[in-house]
Chains A and B, each alone.
Chain A
Amino acid sequence: MTDLLNGAEDEAFRQEIREFVTANLHPGTRDKVARGAPLTREDFARWQQCLFERGWVAPAWPVEHGGPGWSARQRLIADEEMFRQHTPPLPGFGLKMIGPILMRFGTPGQQARFLPGILSGDDWWCQGFSEPGAGSDLASLRTRAVRVAGGWRISGSKTWTTYAQYANWIFCLVRTDPQAKKQQGISMMLVDMASDGFTRRPIRLMDGTEEVNEIFLDDVFVPDDQVVGEINRGWTYAKALLENERFGIGGIGRSKHLLQRVREMADAAGRGADPEVADALAAFEIDIMAVEATTLRLLNAAEAGARIGAETSLLKIRGTEIQQGLTELMLEVAGPAALPERESEGAEAPFENAAYQFLNWRKLSIYGGSNEIQRGILAGQVLGL
């Protein structure tokens, strides 16, 4: 596979990453990632610990908050190399979402209190935005926070909360001014999940995993020092956070990793040289290249001082389409061998996770703002339609 970032310095940096991963990644975790098997909290936590100790856990954070001081180019290389070596992609709720938001909008006290736990993995965060009635139309959320002495009391429910079962903190969007226009009465609050009045129900997904949850908040108390920024400005923070999320969702490293896996499956199925399959693989490689080049252009522009906002939607759209397309090619290559339940006696390596990955990754075009919503954002905010 062609590496676009392939100067001598890039190569040296790649080498450094590779050596670190080889020396530190737990073989059991590595094996699961290589096969597309589901990961446990332990897989993530163990790897986070390694990265934390090396100072690499938060590639995009500034040095003063514990980042490694990598350039955007190095971050892309690190992401790509780590995926290539089958490291587990750490959930981004703390590291990529609330962490950067606290750095930008949080108080020094909040930064001192929360950022270290995010880096070390002592705290696990989850994202409490979506509600049963507020998905694409997030601003219609109805979970309410009412003013009380010293803080707020939250009542309502959240849903689709990824990895809430692993988390001890959740950042929530709540309505603090029911009279104001939709977007204007929303605030962002940090909620301790051990609070009284907090309950959780797992939701089983069609691939059999329980990645997401429903959350119920019944008069949960949140002290004033756990409100992010200003009251009723939560929408602004949420938008900034979602744009960060989309930069990540472009997932070039992830796409390349998947392409590599599909190639291996094609070889295992004896179809690596089949022109139909070989052409499809080449076409995906080119698609990934186009997203990578576009990501680099956007990052360079951002480093040169341009403000990148809604444009990141295009990375999310293309990245997820490529990844979903690759899971379909995986199915094509695997044929009936994809069908036995994984871990059953019928399962056949390396195809045992193909159907599950196809099913699980339907989510990519739904979460983080669905691809329809992203196209709407591009058309409205970038194209001015």
Chain B
Amino acid sequence: MIRLDPPDDGVTMLKETAERFVADRYGLARRGEMLRKPDDQIPVHWADMAGLGWLLAPVPEAAGGLGLPPVQIVALLEVLGAGLVLEPVGPVVMRCAATLARALPDAEAVLAPVLSGGCIEVMAGGEEAAPITAMRDGERVTLAGRAPLVVGGAAARAFWVVARMESAPVLIRVPLEKAGVTRFRLVDGQAAAKVVFDGVSCDAGEVITGCAPALAFGADMGLLGMLAETSGLIDALYRATLEHVKLREQFGRPIGRFQAVQHRMADMFIAREEAQSMVQLAAEAMESADTGFRARLVSAARIKIAGSARAVLRDAVQLHGGMGVTDELPVGHMVKRLLVLTQMGGSRATHLKRFREAA
């Protein structure tokens, strides 16, 4: 049942803690220093985030987590997204941990080292465009394929590969030593990896089968995490731009007094409100037992938010004038992160199709 309740005290507190955290540690200059660290290093605040309980938060209690509902988690991710944090909370916690918690009987033991902030493990593969295959030959299983872009993968010690084996999806843990990892940066400066799995093999007993529902759930949680970050960025860009048009004067008055500017700000406000609504809607849908309903709402949120994000990006830069295209204000950095988020997570056509077809 969809409720769309206003945030309760728990959410408000979580948000406030996160806002302080980001304000203290993520000024532009400090973030710049972090970006200059070697790309195979775990981002510095990972362990502290674990200490705050953020990594355990969305993981079910049965898997050793806190079992916070998605509506509360998205509030946290909105703040982390807006704060341009470099720790891969979305890929690790929302996608990988959510998947493993449902796919493994011993999830708690497997996840403990990661969620205590000691290391990073992420998912790889599972994209329609670049499928990874697993071939069984007696007692051995061999992989073929690659994951061209794994966010959070640059500092990972293992990859949970989603592969197709005998036309069913399976999950295989590949430790760093066995994978062919190439590290690089993305346009927004964060580290990522390209991982080649060709020829990597393991015992058939290590292959996790029958995990399709867990994979689907994890993929949607991962997407929800990205949508929450996107929505947080939309809000941050809206606020930064609102402040700018109130302060910046041309022709003897704040540019926010010109009607052309006002209308665009009004549109940006609408985009922000709708993005927040859709994130909350999708978050509530994640708790539904009806997988078709879940798929529909997550795809709907993705469609709506990707569109809003692009419009907000355009207008935020435009209304900042020359200042908007520099690297010297937060706006430019937020724009690049927004770009990264909206280029991933599947195409518009894919999500429209899923929306139409999911019963």
B322 is contacted by which of A130, A334, A359 (Cβ under 8 Å)? A130
Q: Which residues of B contact A334 (CB under 8 A)?
A: 343
Q: Which residues of chain A are near B310, meaning CB under 8 Å?
A: 328
Given A344-B184, A355-B187, A365-B318, residue A336 in contact with residue B149 (CB < 8 A): yes
Residues on B with beta carbons closer than 8 Å to the beta carbon of A371: 318
Most buried by B among A159, A205, A347: A205
On whether the beta carbons of B260 and A345 are closer than 8 Å, the reply is no
Q: Is the CB of B327 within 8 A of A375?
A: no
A331 touches B250 (CB 8 A): no
Inter-subunit contact B250/A355 (CB<8 Å): no
| Cβ-based interface call for A346 (8 A) | yes
Q: Which of B75-83, B136-144, B282-290, B333-341 contacts A (4 or more CB under 8 A)?
A: B333-341
- The answer to whether residues A370 and B149 also contact, given A205-B326, A206-B336, A341-B186 and a CB cut-off of 8 A, is no
Per the 8 Å Cβ criterion, residues 169-222 of B in contact with A are 182-187, 189, 192, 194
Looking at A133, A160, A206, A371, the one whose CB has the most chain B CB atoms below 10 A away is A206
Q: Is A53 in contact with chain B by the CB < 8 A criterion?
A: no
Q: Give the residues from 198 to 246 in chain A that come closer than 8 angstroms, CB to CB, to chain B.
A: 203-206, 208, 212
**Chain B residues whose C-beta falls within 8 Å of the C-beta of A339 in the assembled complex:** 149, 186-187, 192, 339-340, 343-344
Closest residue of B by beta carbon distance from A139:
B251
Q: Is A160 in contact with B186, judged by CB distance below 8 angstroms?
A: no
Interface string of B221-256 (1 = CB under 8 A from A): 000000000000000000000000000011110010
Inter-subunit contact B318/A370 (CB<8 Å): yes
Given contacts A206-B335, A339-B149, A346-B192, contact A366 B184 (CB under 8 A): no
Report Cα–Cα, A359/B326, bound state, in Å. Answer: 10
Q: Which of A206, A336, A347, A365 contacts B343 (CB 8 A)?
A: A336
> Which listed residue (B183, B194, B324, B347) contacts A335, Cβ 8 A?
B347
Instruction: Please count how many residues in chain A sit with their CB below 8 Å of the partner chain's CB atoms.
Output: 47
Given contacts A135-B321, A140-B250, A372-B260, contact A345 B187 (CB under 8 A): no
Closest to B183 in A: A345
**Residues 321 to 359 of chain B near chain A (Cβ within 8 Å):** 321-322, 324-328, 332-333, 335-336, 339-340, 343-344, 347-349
Say whether B344 contacts A204, CB under 8 Å: no
A359 to B187 CA separation, bound complex (whole angstroms): 10
- Complex contacts, B252 vs chain A, CB 8 Å: 137, 140
Complex contact A337–B250 (CB within 8 A): no
Residue B261 lies at the interface, judged by CB distance under 8 Å to chain A: yes
Interface check A42, CB cutoff 8 A: no
Closest to B320 in A: A366
Cβ-defined contact, A355 with B339, below 8 A? yes
In the assembled complex, B292 has its CB within 8 A of some CB on chain A: no
Q: Is there contact, CB below 8 Å, between B185 and A340? A: yes
Considering the complex, which residues of chain A in the window 350-382 have a beta carbon less than 8 Å from any beta carbon of chain B? 355-356, 358-360, 362-363, 365-367, 370-372, 375-376
A348 interfacial contact with B, CB 8 Å? yes
Is A19 interfacial (CB 8 A cutoff)?
no
B66 in the interface, Cβ–Cβ < 8 Å?
A: no
A370 to B339, CA, bound (A): 23
Contact of A64 with B by CB under 8 A:
no
Least Cβ–Cβ distance between B5 and chain A, in angstroms: 35
Report the Cα distance A137→B182, complex, angstroms: 49
Contacts of B340 in A (CB 8 A): 339
A148 to B90, CA, bound (A): 64
Are A203 and B186 within 8 A (Cβ)? Answer: no
A350 to chain B, nearest CB (A): 15
Q: B1-23 interface mask toward A, CB cutoff 8 Å, 1 = contact, 0 = none? A: 00000000000000000000000
A65, chain B: closest CB distance, angstroms: 33
Q: Does A164 interact with chain B (Cβ within 8 Å)?
A: no
Neighbouring A residues of B322 by C-beta, 8 Å: 130, 135, 159-160, 212, 363, 366-367
Among the interface residues A276, A335, A348, which one has the most CB atoms of the partner chain B within 10 A? A335
Rank and list the top 9 A-B pairs by shortest CB-CB distance, nearest first.
A206-B332, A346-B184, A344-B184, A137-B250, A204-B327, A341-B185, A137-B251, A355-B187, A362-B317
- 8 A-B pairs besides A137-B250, A341-B186 with CB distance below 8 A are A133-B249, A204-B328, A339-B343, A345-B182, A345-B183, A358-B339, A362-B325, A372-B261
28 A–B contacts, CB within 8 A, in A order: A137-B251, A203-B326, A204-B326, A205-B325, A206-B327, A206-B335, A208-B327, A212-B322, A276-B349, A324-B314, A334-B343, A336-B148, A337-B148, A338-B187, A338-B343, A339-B187, A339-B192, A339-B343, A340-B192, A341-B184, A341-B185, A359-B187, A359-B336, A362-B325, A363-B325, A365-B318, A367-B322, A375-B260
